[in-house]
Structure formats: C-alpha cells, structure tokens
Structure 1
Amino acid sequence: MPRSPAALSAGATDHGLPDRYRTRPDVTRDDLERALADAIDRIDENLDEFYDRFPTASSDDLVYGATANMDGWTTSFWTGLCWLAHEVTGAERFRDAAETQLETFERRLDSGETATHDLGFLYTLSAVAGHRLTGNEQYRSLALTAADRLADRFWEAPGMIQAWGECDANTESWERGRAIVDTMMNLPLLFWASETTGDSRYASVAATHARTTAEHLVRADGSTCHTFEFDVETGAPVGEETAQGYADDSCWSRGQAWTVYGYAVAADYTGEAAYLDLAGTLANYYLQHVEADGVPRWDFDAPAEQSMRDSSAAAIAACGLDELARHLPTADERVAGYRNAALATLGSLADDYTVGDGSNGLLAEAAYHPTEGDYDECCIWGDYFYVEGLVRATEQWGRYW
C-alpha cells in the first residue's frame, strides 16, 4: 500500500533552492504584458485555420498542421489557448472557437476513444474551463463523464491510474499496470469532480495515485522516473522504465515539471502540506539542474551530444513554480525564490525562444520525442503553458486545473 500523506516527502533528499533565484530577475511587468499581447495576436492570426480544427501536437519546420481527428492527447491545449485569449481580451470570437471545439470533445466521449489518462488534459482545458467561465451545465456534464472514465482506469491493488491502453485484466501488454509522471497533471479533473459533485470517490482515486507516484516514481535524490510498472493483481512494484526520456534511470525534464505543478495543485485541493513539501523538493531538483537561462535540456542526464533544449518543459515549470509559491505560507523564504524563478523563465522564453515570422506557433526549441527525432519545434502544450504563465504573471486569473 502507498504511504500516508505525512510520509510523502520523507524519502527524497532536498538540496534547497539555488542562490541565484534569491534575487529578482531583470524582467518587468511591461515586458511580460508585451509578450502576452504578442502571443494573443498570434492566437488570433491562427483562429480561422484552427476554428473547428486543432494544431498538430508538434510543428514541422515551426509550422503546425491542422487536424480534425479526435485521437491524441494535445487538442485541448489549443482550446485552452482560446479560453485564455477570451479571458484576457473579452473578445467573443475566442469563446466562439472554444465552444465550437467542445463539440469535438463531446463526440470523442460518445465514440469511446477514452483509453488514456490524458482525459484529464483533454477535458480540464476544454469542458472544465468552459464550465468555470460560462456556467454551461452541458460542459460540467461532459467533464464529469470524462472524470468517470478516468476513474475507471484505477487499479486498486497498486493504487494507481493506468496511463495508456485498455484496462483489461486479461490483456498482457507493456501498457498494463503502467503509471507515468504526466498523470499528476491529469488528476485535477478528478479533484474538480469531487469538488463540484460532493462525491469523494474521485478525489480518493486522485490522492491515492498521487501517493503511489510519490512512493515509486520520485527517487531519493528528488528526481523522477518517467514510467513505473506494477503487477495489477498483487500490487507489487515491477520497476521503472522510460518512454520519452534518455534512459530508465535518467530524469526527463518535462516529467519533472509535470510533478512540480501537479503536486502544487494537489496540495491546494486536499490541504495536505506533504504534497506542498514534495512539490518544493521536486522544484528544487529542477532548479538545481536547469540551464542558466531557465530552459532545461530535454533530459537532465542526456549526454552532451544530445543536449537539445525543451522550452515546453520550461513553460510548464514556470506555471508550477508560480502555483507552488501561491500556496506556501507567506513568510516562507522560498516564496520569493520560486516567483523569481518563474519570472526569469518567462522572461527568457519571451526574449530568446519565441518564434519569428513564418511560424504559426509561439515557442521554438520544444522537444516532443527527441529519441524519435521530434525536437527543435513548436509543441502546442508548450505554447499553452507559456501563455498561461504570462497570464499568471500579469492578470488576476482563476486556475482552470
């Protein structure tokens, strides 16, 4: 069985916040407001092409293609960008696009294409955000159906949500009984479902998965593995393995960023201080290993000849660091450090990683799957979290997650 919340961070060594983040970076509010305005202009330019379709997960020569397919895990990030643009500008054309896209998410549930933990990504940034912003009960119902499907992926014995594939006890495959760090950012759908319905079973599944992740996917040095396999019948741990990182025992930077943000959000929903402590340990490891400009290599342990950056990991981390700072006690000296790190990251992204003319994306040098040659491109989730980070830094914003 997974450990109690009080023991979550006991097994990980925290080496502290790096000194360079104790000083406020040379990034002004005006700088970030200009970056946000530029990003919204780009979203607006793309609205006709992606009104009822979606950008591909990653670009080709920094240009996204368009897809109307219901498969994949990334479509909601474009819808989330439309909701953010609507909130910032008040322009109805962004809301109209997001609501048009929601019809696709409804069809996806009807089609049964739901064999993934990414239901959290897909329906938080589409239906939950839509309900929060419009009060439309249809969107609430849609999100709750997705939460039911996500909760159905929970294996009781190991206490975890299976990431990929059908959850069929008779099916033997690499996917069966596999947990991944990304799921920490899919759990908010379940926490929200309990909050909106009063039914604690959703939050119970989410909290149990978070404890299991802390016990088996967080290492003693505060790093994380990408995936971990369990025997679903006995609950016995099998071992860690990577899918998108450099090696089974390496630390994939985007996965580390997911956990920083995920545990900070879990702390807010549950009130468990241990989740917050663990988010800090994970954040400190990230900040100790990130490059000087705040944008990490795609894997902290990759060799020099594979030192590609991942701007999408940096954007996620900026949001996670800001979220963590919001929930720590005001007197905690780490609050200023995490805010400084988030601002420095956003400033670096805005100055050195945004694309130029000829691209329909926002951030260059994102890495989807470097071992398969997909890097140095735009990735739609990186674009989303970049804009979310800018909104966090410049607006009074209510979290979708």
Structure 2
Amino acid sequence: MKTAFATLGLALLVFAGCAGQKKTEIDFIQDNIDNAVAQHTLQTDIIEKSGKVLNPRTIDKDGSIHYIPIDDWCSGFFPGNIWFTYELTGDKKWIPLAEKYTEALDSVQYLTWHHDVGFMIGSSYLNGYRRLGKEEYKPVIIQTAKSLSTRFRPGAGVIQSWDADKGWQAQRGWKCPVIIDNMMNLELLFEASLMSGDSTFYNIAVSHANTTMKNHFRADNSCYHVVDYDPETGEVRKKQTAQGYADESAWARGQAWAFYGYTMCYRYTHDAKYLEQAEKVYNFIFNNKNLPEDLVPYWDFDAPNIPNEPRDASAAACTASALYELSTYVPNKGYKETADKIMESLGSPAYRAAVGTNGNFILMHSVGSIPHGAEIDVPLNYADYYFLEGLIRKRDLEKK
C-alpha cells in the first residue's frame, strides 16, 4: 500500500510539474498577446484619429513616432503586425485596420527600383491572403513578383538589390550589388509561382539562392553583407559591407536574414542543401564566442567594443522565428528550445517596452545602420514583426 501511495504521489508531482510548465508557457504567450494588443491599440488610435493612413517605422531622437512613405522598404511590416494581432487574438476588429493599412500599399506592386518589394508586399498582402483567403490580393502578389523579377540579372544569376547609379550606393563603385537581405524577398517569388503556375518566379528564386550560397559565405559559415557582381559575366567584383562593422565582420542581422532565408527556401523546394546551409549559419551564430548569454546579439559579432556595443533585438527576433520553423524540419536538435530562450529574453523587461512607452512599439534595443548613424538602439517595426511571427509559431507548435 505504501508503494502504491508513493507511486501515486510521484505521479501527481510529475503531473503538477508538467501542468505548471504548460501554464507558464500559456502565460508567456498570453502575456505577450495582451502586450501587443495594448501597444497596437494605442498605435492605431493615433493613426485613426489623424484621419490619415500613417505607417510607423521607429522613433526619432526626440522620442516622436517616425512615419514612413509607402515606398520605404519597411512599409509592409506594420500592416503585417496588425494581421498578426488578428491571428493571435481572433478579434475581428483588427481586420478592417489590417485591410486599410495593407491596401494603402497597392502601388508598391509596380515598384521596380529596389528589391525590397518582397518584404513590403509579403508582410502585408501575403499575410492578408493567408489569413482571410482574399482572392483580390493574389493579383497584387503576382504583379509584385513580376516587378521584382525585372531586377534579375541572368548573366550573374541573381536579383540585383540596389541600383548603383545614384545615392550613397553610387559612391561605392558597385555594378550589381546583392545584399544577404535579398534572401528574404524570395518568399514572395515562391508564393507567386504557386499562385500563378508560372515557374519563372520559382526558377529565379532558386538561382538567386544558389548563387548567394556559392558566393556570400565564408569558411566559418558567416556571411558577407554585400557581394557585387558583374551583371553580364557573373564575376564577383567585391565582397563588402554596408551596415556591418567591417567588410570581413559578421553583421548580426545579416546572419539572421541568411538563417531565415535558407530555412524558408527549404519550405518551398525541399532541397536538402538549403536545410544544411541554414544549420551551418545556426552553428556560426550559436557557437560564437561573442553571443551574449541571453542570445540577443550585439549589432555585429565582431564589433570592436563588445560588450559595450548596442544589441540588435531585430536580429534575435528574426532568428527565433526561423528557429521555430527549422525545428519542424529537423526535430530533436534543440532548435525550439533555443528559440524559446530568445523569446523569453525578448519578452522580458530588458527588451519589451512598458505599455505606452517606446513610441508604442513592442521591442526596444534594435539597430538599423550604425555606419550610417541611423536608428541606433531604437524600436523597429520589423523587430516587432518577427517577434509576433515567432509568438504565433511558438503557440502553434505547443498546441500540437
């Protein structure tokens, strides 16, 4: 009888422990949903009272909210954040706001002078299509893919990121600069191929991913930020940085873009080499001696004044979101657990702002471009975007 009671007691303790753990996970998710709702309610109230469609990206040095035009590369993230808020809450009051902010970007589908239309329309229209099945969003996504495809340079096998004949880019002597960020824009091409049945988009995406894999990565699996090509011959002219500390340094968000990008490429192609590349980038990031214990990286892994350098919550959030996806392809390697640790850090008071502060953005302590003196230790709408996407992926995995 003693043995039976002892066994029963042990079982109850185990059950209580599991229940407690599950409750903690639920509390974490719900707490962050509640926080997002509070911040986005404040943010959208300001926008709606203005009578305009404003698009918040960050805060200025005086603490005021910085709004951007629709052709800014970050213009899709705030609409995306509202779609995510709808998905996390199921509250239909967010739908008309998400639709309005998304549809304000309609003309982006014809933009051909930079590569970031994938970010812009993918974060907004594609999220709207995925959540509501809005058929009228499909032509916009497909036309955007056509516009992005005009930047494909067949001789080099890549999508040119920036025009190099004007602005600060013209001063660098580039012909066909390709930045690692461009991996993120391939998702739009893959989706447009599925929607339209046109394999051209798919083939361009694969060509770009393969060429980038060949030329962007170092022996230690870190990546360059910028590789400049001869657009006719495909010759690599230069390997440099624009937003990192130095040409040979590892810019933190660049590693996150690479990690997320190749994980996403595997989703659409099931090509094992993309999965292997994602895992190689993971190993660089998480075995790096300069990665802090809370797993939120400094803005560059080789920045000269570590540990007295700004962190980049946007890089951490992007990495966490990708880790949740990777964990579904490669289970039992601790990828989800690593993502959970990052999310716990970002959801803590060290990085998550108190309601009503931080320009009503969710996360603090991100970095745009230190070499340009822009957006240093500020909130960024794309940090919030990948944090919320990570929260959705975490919740969905734990429901299973």
Q: TM-score range by the shorter chain?
A: 0.7 to 0.9
Quick one: which of 317, 320, 326 aligns to 1:318?
Answer: 320
Does 2:295 match 1:297?
no
Secondary structure at the aligned position of 2:71 is classed as: coil
The worse-fitting range, judged by mean Cα deviation, of 362-371 and 89-98 is 89-98
Residue equivalent to 1:60: 60
The one-letter amino acid of 1:369's match is: S
Change (3 A) 1:249 1:166: closer
Residue equivalent to 1:128: 126
In the alignment, the residues of structure 1 paired with residue 164 and residue 132 of structure 2 have an alpha-carbon distance, to the nearest angstrom, of: 33
Residue equivalent to 1:214: 213
**TM-score, normalisation: structure 1:** 0.85
**TM-score, normalisation: structure 2:** 0.85
Matched-pair identity in %: 33
In the alignment, the residues of structure 2 paired with residue 261 and residue 375 of structure 1 have an alpha-carbon distance, to the nearest angstrom, of: 23
Q: Report if aligned partners of 1:102, 1:126 keep a CA contact under 8 Å in 2.
A: yes
Residues 334-373 of structure 1 mapped to structure 2, 5 A cutoff: 334=333, 337-351=334-348, 352-356=350-354, 357-359=356-358, 360-373=360-373
Change (3 A) 1:345 1:28: same
The one-letter amino acid of 1:381's match is: Y
Residues 178-257 of structure 1 mapped to structure 2, 5 A cutoff: 178-257=177-256
Superposition deviation, residue 326 in structure 1: 1.2
1:62-117: CA deviation from partner (whole Å, max 9, x where unpaired): 946253622211111101111011112222332111211233211334xx543111
Residue equivalent to 1:80: 80
1:285-325: CA deviation from partner (whole Å, max 9, x where unpaired): 11122211110000001111662110110000101111111
The one-letter amino acid of 2:345's match is: S
Secondary structure at the aligned position of 2:361 is classed as: coil
Tell me the number of residue pairs that the alignment of Structure 1 and Structure 2 aligns: 364
The worse-fitting range, judged by mean Cα deviation, of 178-187 and 350-359 is 350-359
Please tell me the root mean square deviation across aligned C-alpha atoms, in Å: 2.4
1:220-275: CA deviation from partner (whole Å, max 9, x where unpaired): 11101101000011111112110000000100010100111110110010010110
| RCO higher in structure (CA 8 A, sep ≥6) | 1
Residue equivalent to 1:382: 383
In the alignment, the residues of structure 1 paired with residue 56 and residue 88 of structure 2 have an alpha-carbon distance, to the nearest angstrom, of: 24
Q: Report if aligned partners of 1:58, 1:380 keep a CA contact under 8 Å in 2.
A: yes
Change (3 A) 1:226 1:379: same
In the alignment, the residues of structure 1 paired with residue 103 and residue 381 of structure 2 have an alpha-carbon distance, to the nearest angstrom, of: 20
The worse-fitting range, judged by mean Cα deviation, of 58-67 and 151-160 is 58-67
The worse-fitting range, judged by mean Cα deviation, of 95-104 and 199-208 is 95-104
Secondary structure at the aligned position of 1:240 is classed as: strand
Q: Greater helix percent: which structure?
A: 2
Residue equivalent to 1:99: 99
Mind listing any 5+ residue stretches in structure 1 that lack a counterpart? Answer: 1-23
Residues 251-290 of structure 1 mapped to structure 2, 5 A cutoff: 251-289=250-288, 290=291
Change (3 A) 1:212 1:167: farther
Q: Report if aligned partners of 1:53, 1:67 keep a CA contact under 8 Å in 2.
A: no
